[in-house]
């Protein structure tokens, strides 16, 4: 820098150069020096006196040029700075081009933070330094504002009642808030840096799921909002998180990572389940009315026919027909209880890929029972299966609630139509429509319809929980619900669910899973070995009512004969104490030939465990037992998965 400055022209600037000096008269170096917006001055190495200052200095420091030229550096920089400078100069250790931040004081006493670059300069008869300053007030202000905004963000992150984390494209954590650190069992947020989910969770499946969702967000550049995820806490308990992931973008809109925000909704879920269960009880209460009516009819058939049979000679041609009726009625009663139990069972199942048509058809008999005789039930089902990923019993609850409302809207009778359809838009959707020809509703009612406890019904008739529950269920299944209604004409509820392209579980898309038709092909075979004939008959009747094929034997010997190949058999039910070969011996022999047969021992005596140990996996059912006990136990006894029995569509209350 010293090279490009003409010392004589600068010397001229000492006194004569002033703002009044005509521009034409000034040399180029003078001009560059004077007109430079950066404050520049030259000071004498020995006395620190200003030898030259440019206009920018005059403007900034508030002194006139004459005043400045009578001052030294001492008057404008701090004492320590001066002392330091003098030491450096004396030792000759100040390097040319050294950049220093010196606070300078203006005439008014204001401190200017100035970054100064000093360069030695040969000056007539002395050495001097040229200093070029940069006012960094603005930079300081920007830095402070940035610090403040960072502080502000840090504060938000620290106090927001959510866990927040962010990862780079390689899914390595690049930051998180305290909540997230706590949830991972880390003491400070900084510990998360450089880690991945594999390091932070003990559960590999959870890490994998989280990774796949992160990658989806990064690959598509679109957010994944409000998704429920299960996380194992450091103490081993499970938490349900509602988590949103959004892509993080750089200034060129390139995805550089993923940002996640979540809330722990474990408690909320528990409450929601309680709420739903309460509503289910309400719904079951309504169903029970219909079921009781049916039961009474069935009991009348049974007791009436039994009465007739008792007074009839057994060779009467009517005899077997009446017997058939009794059996039929009992079977229907069993179906009824089974359905009621299936529906009322408490635990929600995991969402599975199901055929919407199958859910609807499987639940029709239940709905008929609910709506009574005055209301017709029609269906218009899509001709193809409609795969949706749902909790089956929850969709049943939706159907039940909508049908119950439809029935209430048609006190004089009418028609309920259930429609399933496929809808093609940007995404393929499964549609479920429930229409009635009832009273319809006003706009005012429509507005509040889905609110919990909103009801227009009398006390004791409505709780206002039906549609709130429906709404919750549909939302959880990532669906939507809408309503169309005209007063005096009717109402249609339309539910849209995501079409699920995952491969369905074979057993869940078979139509008629609920088995309401009664004409299922009996595929699974059960052998009952029991010397007490009436007990054997009861068991046979119960199991046949469930669609099993049943073989009977009154002793072990007969049983072994019956089981000669190719007779199929899935489960052996045997009494333990029998004349001749006992049940345990029989089971051992059968197992040696058919290792995958299920075994159920029935006995009035509780056997000691070692007697059962000889037959691995054998179940024990103490007498006396109810038909339902029997059914439940048999279902547990199957050793081969039902999938290897195509067409078997029976589901017990205990099996799911």
- Among Mg ion, ligand ADP, none, residue 244 binds (CB under 5-8 Å by kind): none
The tokens describing 543, both together, are 């199991």
Minimal distance, residue 367 CB to ligand ADP, in Å: 14
**Nearest residue to Mg ion, by Cβ distance, number only:** 466
469 contributes a contact to Mg ion by CB under 5 A: no
Stretch of 278-286, 330-338, 403-411, 444-452 contacting Mg ion, by CB under 5 A? 403-411
If contact means CB under 5 to 8 A according to the sort of partner, which of Mg ion, ligand ADP, none does residue 491 touch? ligand ADP
CB of 364 to ligand ADP, least distance (A): 18
Which stretch, 111-119, 465-473, 506-514, 527-535, contacts Mg ion (CB under 5 A)? 465-473
Backbone angles phi, psi at 88, to 5 degrees: -60, -45
DSSP assignment letter at 569: -
**Minimum CB separation from ligand ADP for residue 295, in Å?**
25
Which among 32-40, 57-65, 328-336, 459-467 is the span making contact with Mg ion, rule CB under 5 A?
A: 459-467
Does 466 bind Mg ion (CB under 5 A)? Our answer is: yes
CA gap 136, 213 in Å, rounded: 46
In 3D space, the residue among 514, 544, 181, 212 whose CA is nearest the CA of residue 367 turns out to be: 514
Residue given tokens 């995404």 in the structure block:
427
Contacts of 633 (CB under 8 A, 6+ apart): 600, 619, 621, 625
Cβ proximity of 523 and 516 under 8 Å: no
> Minimum Å distance from CB 473 to Mg ion?
14
For ligand ADP, which is the closer residue by CB, 12 or 462?
462
Nearer to ligand ADP, 130 or 403 (CB): 403
Residue of 357, 405, 492, 649 that binds Mg ion (CB under 5 A): 405
> Distance of CA 5 to CAs 30, 122, 132, 530, Å?
9, 10, 13, 119
Measure the CA–CA gap between 647 and 609, rounded to whole angstroms. Answer: 36
Shortest distance in whole angstroms from residue 405 CB to Mg ion: 4
Cβ-Cβ contacts under 8 Å for 239 (sequence gap 6 or more): 183, 230, 231, 232, 233, 264, 266
Instruction: With CB under 5 A as the rule, give the number of residues binding Mg ion.
Output: 2
Closer residue to ligand ADP, CB minimum distance, 339 or 485: 485
Rounded Cα distance, 88 and 100, in Å: 13
C-beta of 242: minimal distance to ligand ADP in Å? 24
- Least distance (Å) between residue 368 CB and ligand ADP: 17
Kindly state the smallest distance separating residue 459's Cβ from ligand ADP, in Å. 11
Region of 231 please: left (phi>0), alpha (psi -120 to 50) or beta. Answer: beta
Give, to the nearest 10 degrees, the angle between helix 318-344 and helix 356-371. 110
Binding residues vs ligand ADP (CB under 6 A): 401, 405-406, 409, 436, 438-441, 445, 449, 454-457, 462-464, 466-468, 491
User: 492 has which bridge partners?
Assistant: 435, 484
Q: Which does 134 bind (CB under 5 to 8 A by kind): Mg ion, ligand ADP, none?
A: none
Establish if 545 lies at the interface with Mg ion (CB under 5 A).
Answer: no
Q: What is the Cα–Cα distance from 563 to 551, expressed in whole angstroms? A: 9
Binding partner of 76, given Mg ion, ligand ADP, none, CB within 5-8 angstroms per partner class: none
What Å distances lie between residue 511 and 268, 369, 406, CA to CA? 35, 20, 25
Segment contacting Mg ion (CB under 5 A): 461-469, 533-541, 554-562, 587-595?
Answer: 461-469
Residue nearest to ligand ADP (CB): 466
**Cβ closer to ligand ADP: 301 or 403?**
403
Residue ranges that bind Mg ion, judged by CB under 5 A: 405, 466
């Amino acid at each position: 820098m010293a090279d490009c400055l003409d010392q004589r022209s600068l010397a001229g600037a000492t006194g004569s150069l002033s703002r009044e000096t005509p521009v034409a008269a000034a040399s180029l170096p003078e001009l560059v020096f004077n007109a430079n917006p950066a404050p520049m001055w030259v000071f004498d190495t020995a006395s620190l006196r200003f030898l030259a200052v440019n206009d920018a200095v005059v403007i900034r420091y508030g002194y006139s040029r004459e005043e400045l030229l009578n001052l030294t550096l001492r008057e404008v920089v701090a004492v320590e700075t001066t002392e330091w400078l003098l030491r450096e100069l004396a030792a000759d250790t100040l390097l040319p081009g050294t950049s220093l931040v010196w606070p300078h004081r203006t005439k008014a006493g204001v401190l200017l933070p100035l970054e100064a670059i000093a360069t030695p300069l040969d000056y007539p008869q002395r050495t001097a330094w040229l200093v070029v300053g940069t006012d960094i007030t603005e930079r300081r202000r920007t830095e402070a504002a940035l610090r403040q905004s960072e502080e502000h963000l840090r504060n938000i992150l620290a106090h927001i009642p959510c866990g927040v984390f962010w990862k780079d494209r390689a899914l390595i954590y690049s930051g998180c808030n305290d909540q997230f650190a706590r949830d991972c069992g880390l003491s400070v947020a900084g510990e998360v840096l450089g880690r991945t989910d594999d390091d932070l969770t003990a559960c590999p499946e959870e890490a994998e799921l989280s990774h796949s969702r992160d990658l989806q967000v990064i690959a598509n550049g679109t957010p994944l909002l409000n998704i429920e995820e299960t996380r194992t806490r450091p103490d081993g308990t499970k938490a349900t998180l509602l988590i949103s992931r959004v892509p993080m973008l750089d200034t060129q809109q390139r995805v550089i990572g993923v940002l996640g925000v979540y809330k722990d909704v474990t408690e909320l879920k528990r409450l929601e389940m309680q709420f739903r269960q309460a509503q289910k009880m309400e719904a079951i209460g309504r169903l029970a009315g219909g079921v009781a009516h049916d039961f009474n009819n069935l009991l009348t058939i049974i007791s009436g026919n039994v009465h007739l049979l008792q007074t009839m000679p057994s060779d009467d041609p009517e005899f077997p027909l009446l017997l058939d009726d009794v059996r039929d009625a009992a079977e229907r009663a069993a179906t009824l209880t089974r359905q009621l139990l299936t529906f009322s069972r408490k635990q929600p199942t995991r969402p599975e890929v199901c055929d919407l048509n199958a859910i609807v058809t499987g639940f029709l008999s239940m709905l008929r029972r609910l709506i009574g005789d005055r209301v017709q039930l029609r269906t218009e089902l899509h001709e193809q299966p409609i795969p949706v990923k749902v909790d089956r019993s929850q969709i049943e609850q939706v159907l039940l609630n909508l049908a119950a409302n439809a029935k209430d809207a048609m006190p004089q009778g009418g028609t309920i139509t259930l429609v399933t359809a496929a809808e093609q838009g940007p995404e393929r959707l499964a549609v479920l429509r429930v229409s009635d020809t009832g009273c319809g509703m006003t706009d005012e009612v429509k507005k509040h319809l889905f609110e919990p406890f909103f009801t227009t019904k009398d006390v004791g008739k409505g709780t206002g929980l039906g549609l709130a529950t429906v709404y919750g269920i549909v939302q959880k299944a990532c669906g939507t619900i809408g309503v169309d209604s005209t007063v005096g004409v009717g109402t249609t509820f339309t539910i849209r669910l995501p079409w699920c392209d995952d491969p369905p579980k074979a057993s869940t898309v078979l139509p008629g899973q609920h088995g309401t038709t009664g004409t299922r092909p009996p595929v699974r075979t059960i052998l009952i070995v029991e010397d007490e004939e009436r007990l054997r008959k009861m068991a046979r009747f119960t199991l046949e009512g469930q669609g099993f094929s049943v073989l009977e034997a009154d002793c072990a010997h007969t049983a072994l004969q019956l089981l000669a190949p190719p007779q199929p058999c899935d489960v052996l039910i045997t009494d333990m104490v029998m004349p001749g070969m006992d049940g345990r011996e029989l089971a051992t022999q059968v197992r040696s030939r058919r290792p995958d047969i299920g075994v159920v021992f029935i006995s009035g005596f509780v056997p000691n465990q070692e007697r059962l140990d000889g037959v691995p996996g054998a179940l024990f059912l103490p007498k006396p037992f109810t038909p339902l006990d029997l059914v439940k136990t048999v279902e547990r006894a199957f050793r081969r998965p039902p999938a290897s029995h195509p067409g078997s569509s029976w589901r017990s209350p205990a099996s799911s």
